[in-house]
Amino acid sequence: MERERPSRQAIWCDSSQLRCAALSAAAVWPDRADAIERQSRIDPVGRIERWLCYATACIGLLWSVLVSAQEMEPRAYSAVPVGTNFVVASYARSTGGVSLDPTLPITDVNAKINTFLLGYSHSFGIGGHAASIAAALPYSNADITGNIQGLPGTAWRSGLGDSTFRVVVNLLGGPALTPEEFARRPPTTTLGASLTVTTPTGQYVPSRVINVGSNRWSFKPELGVSHPFGDWFVEGSAGVWLFTDNDDFFRGHQRSQAPMPVFQWHGGYTWRPGLWLAADMTYLAGGRTSVDGVEDEDMQRTVRYGVTLSVPLAAQWSAKLAWSNGLITRVGGNFQTVSLSLQYRWFNH
Protein backbone atom coordinates (compact mmCIF):
# COMPACT_ATOMS: atom_id res chain seq x y z
CA MET A 1 0.00 0.00 0.00
CA GLU A 2 1.37 3.39 -0.98
CA ARG A 3 2.39 5.52 1.92
CA GLU A 4 0.48 8.76 2.34
CA ARG A 5 2.52 11.83 1.44
CA PRO A 6 3.06 14.02 4.51
CA SER A 7 1.59 17.48 4.52
CA ARG A 8 3.63 20.60 5.17
CA GLN A 9 1.96 20.92 8.57
CA ALA A 10 2.85 17.32 9.48
CA ILE A 11 6.49 17.95 8.65
CA TRP A 12 6.94 21.28 10.35
CA CYS A 13 4.42 21.49 13.13
CA ASP A 14 3.44 19.53 16.18
CA SER A 15 0.50 21.01 18.06
CA SER A 16 1.70 19.42 21.29
CA GLN A 17 5.09 21.14 21.11
CA LEU A 18 4.15 24.75 21.59
CA ARG A 19 7.44 25.67 23.17
CA CYS A 20 9.25 24.32 20.10
CA ALA A 21 7.00 26.40 17.85
CA ALA A 22 7.78 29.53 19.83
CA LEU A 23 11.51 28.85 19.63
CA SER A 24 11.21 28.38 15.86
CA ALA A 25 9.34 31.65 15.62
CA ALA A 26 12.18 33.29 17.48
CA ALA A 27 14.50 32.11 14.71
CA VAL A 28 12.50 34.26 12.30
CA TRP A 29 11.92 37.31 14.51
CA PRO A 30 14.24 36.96 17.55
CA ASP A 31 13.07 40.19 19.15
CA ARG A 32 9.44 38.97 19.24
CA ALA A 33 9.99 35.54 20.82
CA ASP A 34 8.18 36.36 24.09
CA ALA A 35 5.14 37.84 22.35
CA ILE A 36 4.93 34.92 19.93
CA GLU A 37 5.13 32.41 22.76
CA ARG A 38 2.32 34.20 24.61
CA GLN A 39 0.18 34.10 21.47
CA SER A 40 0.89 30.38 21.06
CA ARG A 41 -0.63 29.78 24.49
CA ILE A 42 -3.75 31.74 23.54
CA ASP A 43 -4.17 29.94 20.21
CA PRO A 44 -2.26 26.68 20.65
CA VAL A 45 -3.32 24.88 17.47
CA GLY A 46 -4.10 27.65 15.02
CA ARG A 47 -2.28 30.72 13.91
CA ILE A 48 1.28 30.12 15.11
CA GLU A 49 1.51 26.72 13.47
CA ARG A 50 0.05 27.89 10.16
CA TRP A 51 2.57 30.66 9.57
CA LEU A 52 5.44 28.62 11.00
CA CYS A 53 4.83 25.94 8.38
CA TYR A 54 5.57 28.43 5.59
CA ALA A 55 7.94 30.96 7.14
CA THR A 56 10.97 28.69 7.00
CA ALA A 57 10.76 28.34 3.21
CA CYS A 58 9.41 31.75 2.17
CA ILE A 59 11.54 34.21 4.15
CA GLY A 60 14.69 32.45 2.99
CA LEU A 61 14.04 33.76 -0.54
CA LEU A 62 15.64 37.08 0.41
CA TRP A 63 19.19 36.11 -0.40
CA SER A 64 18.36 34.18 -3.58
CA VAL A 65 16.49 37.25 -4.77
CA LEU A 66 19.54 39.36 -4.11
CA VAL A 67 21.53 37.06 -6.37
CA SER A 68 18.98 37.49 -9.15
CA ALA A 69 19.17 41.25 -8.71
CA GLN A 70 22.83 41.03 -9.70
CA GLU A 71 21.96 39.08 -12.89
CA MET A 72 22.58 42.14 -15.07
CA GLU A 73 26.03 42.08 -16.62
CA PRO A 74 26.38 44.13 -19.82
CA ARG A 75 29.58 43.54 -21.81
CA ALA A 76 30.06 40.16 -20.11
CA TYR A 77 30.88 38.54 -23.48
CA SER A 78 32.75 41.41 -25.12
CA ALA A 79 36.22 40.50 -26.33
CA VAL A 80 39.28 41.57 -24.29
CA PRO A 81 43.00 41.10 -25.05
CA VAL A 82 44.83 38.21 -23.42
CA GLY A 83 46.91 39.04 -20.37
CA THR A 84 44.36 41.55 -19.06
CA ASN A 85 43.84 41.67 -15.29
CA PHE A 86 41.05 43.38 -13.40
CA VAL A 87 40.59 44.02 -9.69
CA VAL A 88 37.10 45.21 -8.78
CA ALA A 89 35.67 46.58 -5.55
CA SER A 90 31.94 47.25 -5.49
CA TYR A 91 29.09 48.22 -3.20
CA ALA A 92 25.39 47.51 -3.80
CA ARG A 93 22.37 48.71 -1.85
CA SER A 94 19.08 46.82 -2.30
CA THR A 95 15.83 47.95 -0.71
CA GLY A 96 12.27 46.75 -1.14
CA GLY A 97 9.62 44.25 -0.22
CA VAL A 98 9.24 40.51 -0.54
CA SER A 99 6.19 39.12 -2.33
CA LEU A 100 4.75 35.99 -0.68
CA ASP A 101 1.62 33.92 -1.16
CA PRO A 102 -1.21 36.38 -0.26
CA THR A 103 -3.00 33.67 1.73
CA LEU A 104 -0.13 33.50 4.23
CA PRO A 105 -0.33 35.44 7.51
CA ILE A 106 3.07 37.00 6.80
CA THR A 107 2.82 40.60 5.60
CA ASP A 108 4.86 43.73 5.01
CA VAL A 109 8.19 41.91 4.71
CA ASN A 110 10.84 44.45 3.75
CA ALA A 111 14.61 44.35 3.63
CA LYS A 112 17.56 46.69 3.31
CA ILE A 113 20.59 44.78 2.07
CA ASN A 114 24.15 46.07 1.71
CA THR A 115 26.65 44.01 -0.27
CA PHE A 116 30.38 44.67 -0.53
CA LEU A 117 32.30 42.65 -3.11
CA LEU A 118 35.94 42.16 -4.00
CA GLY A 119 36.72 40.45 -7.30
CA TYR A 120 39.55 39.56 -9.66
CA SER A 121 39.63 38.38 -13.28
CA HIS A 122 42.35 37.35 -15.71
CA SER A 123 42.11 36.78 -19.47
CA PHE A 124 44.18 34.27 -21.41
CA GLY A 125 44.20 32.32 -24.65
CA ILE A 126 43.09 28.72 -25.10
CA GLY A 127 43.13 26.98 -28.49
CA GLY A 128 43.36 30.34 -30.24
CA HIS A 129 40.28 31.68 -28.44
CA ALA A 130 40.13 34.38 -25.76
CA ALA A 131 39.06 33.17 -22.33
CA SER A 132 38.91 34.50 -18.80
CA ILE A 133 38.56 33.32 -15.24
CA ALA A 134 37.13 35.39 -12.39
CA ALA A 135 36.54 35.07 -8.66
CA ALA A 136 34.43 37.18 -6.30
CA LEU A 137 33.95 37.24 -2.53
CA PRO A 138 30.95 39.15 -1.11
CA TYR A 139 30.16 40.43 2.36
CA SER A 140 26.54 41.31 3.08
CA ASN A 141 24.38 42.66 5.86
CA ALA A 142 20.61 42.97 5.94
CA ASP A 143 17.96 44.58 8.11
CA ILE A 144 14.68 42.68 7.67
CA THR A 145 11.28 43.70 9.05
CA GLY A 146 7.80 42.22 8.79
CA ASN A 147 4.55 41.24 10.48
CA ILE A 148 3.48 37.71 11.37
CA GLN A 149 -0.17 37.56 12.44
CA GLY A 150 0.06 41.25 13.29
CA LEU A 151 3.19 40.90 15.41
CA PRO A 152 5.95 43.22 14.11
CA GLY A 153 9.51 41.96 14.23
CA THR A 154 12.99 42.59 12.93
CA ALA A 155 16.00 40.46 12.06
CA TRP A 156 19.60 41.44 11.36
CA ARG A 157 22.10 39.33 9.45
CA SER A 158 25.69 40.02 8.41
CA GLY A 159 28.65 37.97 7.27
CA LEU A 160 30.60 36.63 4.33
CA GLY A 161 28.51 35.39 1.43
CA ASP A 162 29.10 32.46 -0.90
CA SER A 163 32.18 32.94 -3.09
CA THR A 164 31.68 32.78 -6.86
CA PHE A 165 33.95 31.60 -9.69
CA ARG A 166 33.36 32.09 -13.41
CA VAL A 167 35.04 30.81 -16.56
CA VAL A 168 34.26 32.37 -19.97
CA VAL A 169 35.44 31.17 -23.39
CA ASN A 170 34.74 33.07 -26.61
CA LEU A 171 33.77 30.43 -29.16
CA LEU A 172 33.36 32.68 -32.22
CA GLY A 173 34.67 36.13 -33.05
CA GLY A 174 36.93 36.45 -30.03
CA PRO A 175 40.46 35.34 -31.01
CA ALA A 176 43.31 35.45 -28.51
CA LEU A 177 45.02 38.78 -29.23
CA THR A 178 47.69 40.81 -27.48
CA PRO A 179 46.75 44.35 -26.37
CA GLU A 180 48.54 45.78 -29.43
CA GLU A 181 46.75 43.43 -31.84
CA PHE A 182 43.45 44.01 -30.09
CA ALA A 183 43.76 47.81 -30.46
CA ARG A 184 44.18 47.49 -34.25
CA ARG A 185 41.28 45.08 -34.76
CA PRO A 186 37.74 46.49 -35.21
CA PRO A 187 35.05 45.07 -32.89
CA THR A 188 33.18 42.04 -34.23
CA THR A 189 30.32 39.82 -33.14
CA THR A 190 31.32 37.35 -30.43
CA LEU A 191 29.66 34.18 -29.17
CA GLY A 192 30.76 32.89 -25.81
CA ALA A 193 30.04 30.22 -23.23
CA SER A 194 30.49 30.48 -19.49
CA LEU A 195 30.16 28.48 -16.31
CA THR A 196 29.50 30.19 -12.99
CA VAL A 197 30.00 28.23 -9.78
CA THR A 198 28.84 29.43 -6.37
CA THR A 199 30.45 27.60 -3.45
CA PRO A 200 29.01 27.08 0.07
CA THR A 201 31.59 29.24 1.82
CA GLY A 202 29.22 31.86 3.25
CA GLN A 203 28.08 32.20 6.84
CA TYR A 204 25.42 29.60 7.60
CA VAL A 205 23.71 28.66 10.87
CA PRO A 206 21.19 25.78 10.52
CA SER A 207 19.04 27.08 13.38
CA ARG A 208 18.34 30.31 11.45
CA VAL A 209 15.69 30.70 8.77
CA ILE A 210 17.56 33.59 7.12
CA ASN A 211 21.24 33.06 6.34
CA VAL A 212 23.87 34.91 4.34
CA GLY A 213 25.26 31.65 2.96
CA SER A 214 23.22 28.98 1.19
CA ASN A 215 24.99 25.79 2.37
CA ARG A 216 24.88 24.33 -1.15
CA TRP A 217 26.60 24.48 -4.52
CA SER A 218 25.09 26.36 -7.47
CA PHE A 219 26.06 26.11 -11.14
CA LYS A 220 25.05 28.29 -14.08
CA PRO A 221 26.05 27.23 -17.62
CA GLU A 222 25.31 30.02 -20.08
CA LEU A 223 25.64 31.07 -23.72
CA GLY A 224 25.97 34.74 -24.66
CA VAL A 225 26.34 36.85 -27.79
CA SER A 226 27.55 40.43 -28.27
CA HIS A 227 27.05 42.30 -31.56
CA PRO A 228 28.47 45.79 -32.25
CA PHE A 229 27.20 47.99 -35.06
CA GLY A 230 28.95 51.32 -35.26
CA ASP A 231 29.02 52.86 -31.81
CA TRP A 232 26.03 50.80 -30.69
CA PHE A 233 25.94 47.28 -29.30
CA VAL A 234 23.30 44.68 -28.45
CA GLU A 235 23.78 41.60 -26.29
CA GLY A 236 21.82 38.61 -25.10
CA SER A 237 22.43 35.55 -22.97
CA ALA A 238 20.58 32.45 -21.81
CA GLY A 239 21.56 30.30 -18.86
CA VAL A 240 20.11 28.16 -16.11
CA TRP A 241 20.89 27.96 -12.40
CA LEU A 242 21.26 24.41 -11.08
CA PHE A 243 21.33 23.75 -7.34
CA THR A 244 22.50 20.95 -5.09
CA ASP A 245 20.47 20.11 -1.99
CA ASN A 246 20.90 21.78 1.37
CA ASP A 247 21.05 18.74 3.65
CA ASP A 248 21.17 20.81 6.84
CA PHE A 249 18.21 23.12 6.37
CA PHE A 250 16.29 24.71 9.24
CA ARG A 251 15.54 22.22 12.03
CA GLY A 252 17.44 19.39 10.34
CA HIS A 253 15.43 19.04 7.13
CA GLN A 254 16.55 18.80 3.50
CA ARG A 255 15.81 21.66 1.12
CA SER A 256 16.07 21.32 -2.65
CA GLN A 257 15.42 23.77 -5.48
CA ALA A 258 14.36 23.19 -9.07
CA PRO A 259 16.42 24.65 -11.96
CA MET A 260 15.93 28.36 -12.66
CA PRO A 261 16.42 29.63 -16.25
CA VAL A 262 17.81 33.17 -16.59
CA PHE A 263 17.75 35.39 -19.69
CA GLN A 264 19.43 38.77 -20.18
CA TRP A 265 19.18 41.48 -22.83
CA HIS A 266 21.33 44.60 -23.14
CA GLY A 267 21.60 47.46 -25.58
CA GLY A 268 23.89 50.46 -25.40
CA TYR A 269 26.08 53.12 -26.91
CA THR A 270 29.86 53.59 -26.69
CA TRP A 271 31.32 57.09 -26.93
CA ARG A 272 34.93 55.94 -26.57
CA PRO A 273 36.73 52.98 -25.00
CA GLY A 274 35.59 52.64 -21.41
CA LEU A 275 32.77 55.20 -21.71
CA TRP A 276 29.44 53.55 -22.47
CA LEU A 277 25.82 53.42 -21.35
CA ALA A 278 23.59 50.34 -21.48
CA ALA A 279 19.93 49.56 -20.88
CA ASP A 280 19.45 46.18 -19.20
CA MET A 281 16.67 43.64 -18.72
CA THR A 282 16.61 40.19 -17.15
CA TYR A 283 13.98 37.48 -16.81
CA LEU A 284 14.09 34.48 -14.53
CA ALA A 285 11.53 31.77 -13.83
CA GLY A 286 11.19 28.52 -11.93
CA GLY A 287 13.32 27.72 -8.92
CA ARG A 288 10.51 26.21 -6.85
CA THR A 289 11.82 24.82 -3.57
CA SER A 290 10.94 21.61 -1.73
CA VAL A 291 11.50 20.59 1.87
CA ASP A 292 11.76 16.85 2.49
CA GLY A 293 10.13 16.25 -0.90
CA VAL A 294 7.12 18.50 -0.28
CA GLU A 295 6.90 21.41 -2.73
CA ASP A 296 6.55 25.00 -1.55
CA GLU A 297 4.38 27.55 -3.34
CA ASP A 298 7.32 29.76 -4.24
CA MET A 299 7.96 29.31 -7.97
CA GLN A 300 9.58 32.54 -9.10
CA ARG A 301 8.78 34.64 -12.15
CA THR A 302 10.64 37.93 -12.18
CA VAL A 303 11.39 40.64 -14.75
CA ARG A 304 13.91 43.34 -13.86
CA TYR A 305 15.14 46.37 -15.80
CA GLY A 306 17.95 48.84 -15.28
CA VAL A 307 20.75 50.98 -16.67
CA THR A 308 24.54 50.75 -16.40
CA LEU A 309 27.05 53.57 -16.96
CA SER A 310 30.79 52.96 -17.31
CA VAL A 311 33.18 55.91 -17.01
CA PRO A 312 36.99 55.87 -17.39
CA LEU A 313 38.72 57.73 -14.57
CA ALA A 314 42.37 57.43 -15.58
CA ALA A 315 44.58 55.29 -17.81
CA GLN A 316 44.00 52.15 -15.73
CA TRP A 317 41.02 53.10 -13.59
CA SER A 318 37.30 53.12 -14.35
CA ALA A 319 34.02 53.28 -12.44
CA LYS A 320 30.66 51.69 -13.09
CA LEU A 321 27.31 52.91 -11.77
CA ALA A 322 24.25 50.67 -12.12
CA TRP A 323 20.58 50.89 -11.14
CA SER A 324 17.90 48.23 -11.45
CA ASN A 325 14.31 47.71 -10.33
CA GLY A 326 11.64 45.04 -10.46
CA LEU A 327 9.03 45.21 -13.21
CA ILE A 328 7.20 41.94 -12.49
CA THR A 329 7.58 39.88 -9.33
CA ARG A 330 5.40 36.84 -8.74
CA VAL A 331 7.19 35.50 -5.65
CA GLY A 332 10.38 36.85 -4.17
CA GLY A 333 11.96 40.24 -3.66
CA ASN A 334 10.86 43.34 -5.51
CA PHE A 335 14.07 45.24 -4.86
CA GLN A 336 15.51 48.47 -6.14
CA THR A 337 19.28 48.12 -6.37
CA VAL A 338 21.97 50.77 -6.81
CA SER A 339 25.60 49.71 -7.16
CA LEU A 340 28.94 51.42 -7.62
CA SER A 341 32.10 49.62 -8.76
CA LEU A 342 35.70 50.78 -8.94
CA GLN A 343 37.94 48.86 -11.33
CA TYR A 344 41.71 48.74 -11.82
CA ARG A 345 43.21 47.18 -14.97
CA TRP A 346 46.69 46.14 -16.02
CA PHE A 347 48.31 43.97 -18.71
CA ASN A 348 50.84 41.17 -18.35
CA HIS A 349 52.50 42.04 -21.68
Q: Residues 186-237: pLDDT tens digits? A: 889 999 999 999 999 999 988 877 788 889 999 999 999 999 999 999 999 9
Paired residues of 146 in beta bridges: 153
How far is residue 326 from each of residues 68, 94, 97, 256, 279, measured CA to CA in Å? 11, 11, 10, 25, 14
Side chain identity at residue 30, one-letter code: P
The full length of the chain comes to 349
CB atoms within 10 A of CB 216: 20
- The DSSP bridge pattern shows strands 106-126 and 294-295 to be unpaired
Averaged confidence pLDDT in the chain: 81
pLDDT at 165: 96
Lowest mean pLDDT among 16-25, 29-38, 181-190, 261-270: 16-25
- 241, 219 contact by CB (below 8 A): yes
Query: Percentage of residues in the chain with pLDDT exceeding 70?
Result: 76
Binned at pLDDT 50, 70 and 90, residue 18 comes out as very low
pLDDT given for residue 137 in this prediction: 94
Cα separation of the two ends of the chain: 71
Binned at pLDDT 50, 70 and 90, residue 276 comes out as very high
More confident residue, 32 or 133: 133
In sequence order, which residues have a C-beta less than 8 Å from that of residue 43 and are 6 or more positions away? Answer: none
> Buried b vs exposed e over 1-20: b needs ≥16 C-beta within 10 Å?
eeeeeeebeebbbeeeebee
- Alpha carbon 305 to its chain's center: 15
- State the pLDDT at residue 14: 38
Thinking of the domain 61-347, which architecture would CATH place it in?
Beta Barrel (2.40)
Instruction: Check: CB of residue 89 under 8 Å from CB of residue 342.
Output: yes
- Residues β-bridged to residue 209: none
Q: Could you tell me which residues are beta bridge partners of residue 264?
A: 237, 282
Q: How confident is the model at residue 23 (pLDDT cuts 50, 70, 90)?
A: very low
Looking at 95-109, 183-197, 244-258, 271-285, which range is the least confident one? 95-109
